[in-house]
């Protein structure tokens, strides 16, 4: 059923009783061409592009809980393509272009809102680094603007410009960046994939892999065995657990990241603003809540909840950048389990085990990557070769030393 204004009006006359479910709820079949494990944004986008771009429709998407129950439904919804390194920039710009046409493509309102992403800087050295990043972006055809203090003051007069420790000297602005409603992205991909024939199977946990002559030929699940020619993993923070089932050791650590939402206030924040002297980012939802987050909790965990010291730390950063936030009440917070790679960049590649493919290492930043991640993972699964914008995301780069260390912090997953 296509969504449109006419359809809405027609349904209004019928008391909205004629809407069909957004996606089918099929029982698993004994076998498929491809199984994608993980019903987050990345898994669903992969299943959708397998069907749409490659005509591979005999696909099962297996999710242990409900779709969007992982990081896809827990993030702070920021999308941007302001990357520095050649391994990253074309990939994230590809993603940004897909975001720009996503709602028409999926026929679903994902509330993609290009309100701008502004990264503040607080010292001369940081300004030079921002100028360098902006220049690198523009060389790749991506929009970037270097703003000085007065420009930022006009955009966001409520910031603490003359803070003694962190005076604001300006910011790097990507106007095409912004936010998208995370769970609508999940639902939109699910509906579009299901329409093309993909079986979306919820409450179906993968508990083991079926192997024949070393090759993966299917999975064991809480709903029985399911066979497939190819199996792709897109399970974010659960990657190392799942890989353990097939004795695969990966350069991934799982860490908790928290997000916070305040009570709703009148429109205040024009886009996304990030603090340059700490890890703090904030935007305002359409309902009026301030949506913000900070750093990882700082220890390895598979729990989808965080600890109080990080709540205090993030609140302090918020007050340092915009003191008025001290008068706003915090409503909710939650945690997600991040798949932190050793260089802060993702992996989209074969594993050393035939028939098994890997999509992981998204760290803090995989929401913005959702469309391109699905596009490139589908390409790899369908053609057995990497997509050109994801060529650098190889698993063996940690052995060969071809790291993509966007932050220049070395093999410190807790800092990426």
Ligand X SMILES: Cc1cc2nc3c(=O)[nH]c(=O)nc-3n(C[C@H](O)[C@H](O)[C@H](O)COP(=O)(O)OP(=O)(O)OC[C@H]3O[C@@H](n4cnc5c(N)ncnc54)[C@H](O)[C@@H]3O)c2cc1C
What residues make contact with ligand X under the rule CB under 6 A? 37-43, 62-65, 69-72, 74-78, 205-206, 234-238, 242, 257-259, 293, 336, 338, 362, 364-368
Question: Closest CB to ligand X among 124 and 247?
Answer: 247
Q: Residue 82 class from Cβ within 10 Å (0-12 exposed, 13-18 middle, 19+ buried)?
A: buried
3-class secondary structure, 303: coil
Q: Residue 121 or 362: which CB sits closer to ligand X?
A: 362
Q: DSSP strand E in 149-251: where?
A: 170-174, 178-179, 199-201, 206-212, 215-221, 224-233
**Beta carbon nearer to ligand X, 38 or 271:** 38
DSSP code per residue over 32-78: EEEEEE--SHHHHHHHHHHHHHH----EEEE-SSSTT-SGGGTS--E
Q: How far is the CB of 12 from ligand X (least distance, A)?
A: 34
* 32 contacts 228 by C-beta, under 8 angstroms: yes
Least CB distance to ligand X at residue 247 (A): 16
Q: How far is CA 1 from the centre of its chain?
A: 28
SS (H, E, C) 142-159: CCCEEEEHHHHHHHCCCC
Min CB(66)–ligand X separation in Å: 8
CB-nearer residue toward ligand X: 39 or 371: 39
User: Which CB, 45 or 144, lies closer to ligand X?
Assistant: 45
CB of 366 to ligand X, least distance (A): 2
Which CB, 188 or 237, lies closer to ligand X? 237
Q: How far is the CB of 83 from ligand X (least distance, A)?
A: 12
192, HSE (Cβ side, Cα atoms, 13 Å):
27
Which DSSP letter does residue 228 get? E
> Least separation, in Å, of the C-beta of 334 and ligand X?
7
């Amino acid at each position: 059923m296509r969504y449109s204004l006419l359809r809405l009006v027609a349904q209004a006359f019928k008391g909205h009783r004629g809407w069909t479910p957004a996606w089918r709820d099929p029982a698993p079949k004994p076998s498929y061409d491809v199984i994608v494990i993980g019903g987050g944004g990345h898994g669903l986008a992969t299943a959708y592009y397998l069907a749409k771009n490659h005509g591979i429709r005999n696909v099962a998407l297996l999710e242990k809980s409900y779709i969007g129950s992982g990081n896809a439904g827990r993030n702070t919804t920021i999308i941007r393509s302001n990357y520095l390194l050649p391994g990253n920039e074309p990939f994230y710009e590809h993603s940004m272009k897909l975001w720009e046409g996503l709602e028409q493509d999926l026929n679903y309102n994902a509330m993609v809102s290009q309100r701008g992403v502004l990264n503040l800087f607080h010292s001369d050295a940081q300004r030079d680094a921002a100028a360098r990043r902006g220049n690198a972006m523009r060389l790749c055809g991506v929009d970037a603007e270097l703003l000085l203090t007065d420009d930022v003051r006009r955009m966001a007069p409520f910031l603490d410009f003359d803070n003694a420790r962190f005076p604001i000297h300006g910011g790097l602005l990507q106007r095409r960046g912004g936010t998208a409603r995370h769970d609508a992205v999940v639902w939109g991909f699910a509906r579009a994939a299901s329409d093309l024939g993909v079986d979306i199977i919820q409450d179906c946990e993968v508990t083991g892999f079926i192997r024949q002559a070393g090759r993966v030929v299917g999975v064991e699940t809480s709903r029985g065995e399911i066979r497939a020619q190819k199996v792709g993993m897109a399970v974010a923070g659960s990657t190392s657990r799942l890989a353990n089932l097939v004795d695969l050791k990966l350069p991934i650590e799982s860490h908790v990241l928290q997000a916070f939402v305040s009570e709703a206030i009148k429109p205040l924040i024009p886009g996304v603003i990030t603090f340059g002297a700490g890890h703090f980012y904030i935007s305002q939802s359409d309902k009026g809540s301030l949506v913000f987050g900070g750093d990882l909790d700082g220890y390895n965990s598979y729990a989808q909840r965080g600890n109080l010291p990080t709540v205090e730390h993030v609140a302090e950063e918020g007050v340092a950048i915009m003191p008025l936030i001290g008068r706003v009440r915090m409503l909710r917070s939650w945690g997600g389990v991040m798949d932190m790679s050793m260089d802060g960049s993702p992996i989209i590649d074969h594993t050393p085990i035939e028939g098994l493919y890997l999509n992981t290492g998204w760290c803090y930043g995989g929401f913005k990557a959702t469309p391109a991640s699905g596009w490139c993972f589908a390409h790899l699964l369908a053609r057995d070769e990497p997509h050109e914008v994801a060529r650098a995301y190889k698993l063996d780069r940690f052995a060969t030393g071809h790291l993509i260390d966007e932050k220049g912090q070395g093999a410190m997953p807790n800092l990426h």
